[in-house]
Amino acid sequence: MFRLAGHLKKTVAEIEKMSAREFAEWLAYTRYFEAIPDSWRETGLLASAMLAPHCDRGKAPKADDFIPIEKPPQHQQQMLAQIKQLQQIFNG
């Protein structure tokens, strides 16, 4: 819904006023005829393709590796487990 709103230069609230039929038609259109442009994914594909010849076979970065998506907040136990894992890596 957010990508469609951005593509149409509207707010999500405006999109929510759209009829279910029109929304379904937009979904079908973007699936079968013309996808909504995603500049991050396009840039990631380009970066991945440019780096692939310089990487070992099967080790090239994926397009998603270049898309900046934040991870959800962690609980304290998850953070401690991650810190212990990093300590094991760096301390051998």
Cα 68 to Cα 28, 43, 64, 65, 82, distances in angstroms: 27, 11, 8, 8, 20
Break the chain into its structural domains and give their ranges: 1-37, 39-92
**Each residue's pLDDT tens digit, 30-88:** 899 988 888 888 999 999 999 999 989 988 899 888 888 877 878 899 889 988 988 88
Contact 4, 25 (CB under 8 A): no
DSSP-derived 3-state class of residue 87: helix
Phi, psi of 27 (to 5 degrees): -60, -45
Task: Note the pLDDT of residue 24.
Answer: 93
Task: Note the pLDDT of residue 82.
Answer: 86
Dihedral (CA of 70, 73, 79, 81) sign: negative
Number of H helices, E strands in the chain: 5, 0
